[in-house]
Amino acid sequence: MAGHSAGTEIEQLIQLLARLPGLGPRSARRAALQLLSKKETLMRPLADAISEAADHVLTCTTCGNLDTQDPCSICVDTRRDAGVICVVEHVADLWALERAGANSGQYHVLGGTLSALDGVGPDDLNIAGLVNRTMSGDIKEVVLAVNATVDGQATAHYIMDQLEGSGANVSQVAHGVPVGGELDYLDDGTLAAAMKARRPF
C-alpha cells in the first residue's frame, strides 16, 4: 500500500481500515494519516472505543438488537408496547426507526432476507425466533418493516405464512412516495404502488 516508505505497523493499519465500508485504499491512507496526526485526541480514544465495544456489546437473544445488555434495553423497556413486534432486516434498520421515533413497540432483527441467489434460506435467518415470540407471547400485531425489494417482499410473504394461526395481525409498512420526494424523480414501481394504495384525502 504505502510502499517501503512506511513501517509495517502503518501498512497493517491501512489494510484493516480499508476493510471498513465506505473506505477504499486511498481514503484508508488518509484516515491513517489523520489518526497519526491526532494520536492523543483521536487515535488512542478510537482504539479504546473499539476494544470497549468489542468487549461489552452483544446481540440480544430475544430480538437480535446490539446492546451492552441481554435482553437489550428496548426489550426490557416497560414503557414500550409489548404487544407489537416490528420486523426488520438489519440492526441498522432498527436504529433508523428508533431515530425516527416511528415504532413504540418491540423489534425483531431477521439478519437479512431470504435469497435464492445468495443461498440464504429460512434457517439462516432469525425467523424461528420470531414465530416463537409471536406464538408464545401476547402479541397483537407484527409489523413487517423489511425493505421494498424482491428479496424483502419474498421474505415478508414467507413470514406471513409462518405466522398464520398465531392470532397476531400481520401488517406491512406503507410503500409510496417518500415524504419530500418529487414524483418526477421516482421510479415506475414506486409510482404504481403509490397509485394503487391511494387513500381518501
Judged by the rule CB under 8 A, the positions of this chain that interact with a second copy are 2-10, 12-13, 16-17, 19-23, 27, 29-36, 39, 42-47, 49-54, 56-57, 65-69, 72-74, 90-92, 94-95, 98-99
The angle at the Cα of 173, spanning 170 to 177, to the nearest 5 degrees, equals: 155
**Cβ at position 77, least distance to a second copy in Å:** 8
- Of 51 and 171, nearer to a second copy (C-beta) is 51
CB neighbour list of residue 45: distance below 8 Å, 6 or more residues apart: none
For 155, counting Cβ atoms within 10 Å of its Cβ (0-12 exposed, 13-18 middle, 19+ buried), the class is buried
Closest by alpha carbon to 138, among 172, 106, 111, 109? 106
**Cβ at position 48, least distance to a second copy in Å:** 8
**Cβ at position 62, least distance to a second copy in Å:** 14
Radius of gyration of the chain (CA): 22
- Of 2 and 193, nearer to a second copy (C-beta) is 2
**Per-residue cell: 95:** 436504529
- Of 80 and 194, nearer to a second copy (C-beta) is 80
- Of 8 and 78, nearer to a second copy (C-beta) is 8
Are the C-beta atoms of residues 53 and 42 closer than 8 Å to each other? no
d(CA 185, CA 102) in angstroms, rounded, equals 25
**Cβ at position 64, least distance to a second copy in Å:** 12
**Cβ at position 133, least distance to a second copy in Å:** 18
For 82, counting Cβ atoms within 10 Å of its Cβ (0-12 exposed, 13-18 middle, 19+ buried), the class is middle
d(CA 99, CA 97) in angstroms, rounded, equals 5
- Of 65 and 126, nearer to a second copy (C-beta) is 65
- Of 25 and 121, nearer to a second copy (C-beta) is 25
**Cβ at position 56, least distance to a second copy in Å:** 5
The angle at the Cα of 163, spanning 159 to 169, to the nearest 5 degrees, equals: 105
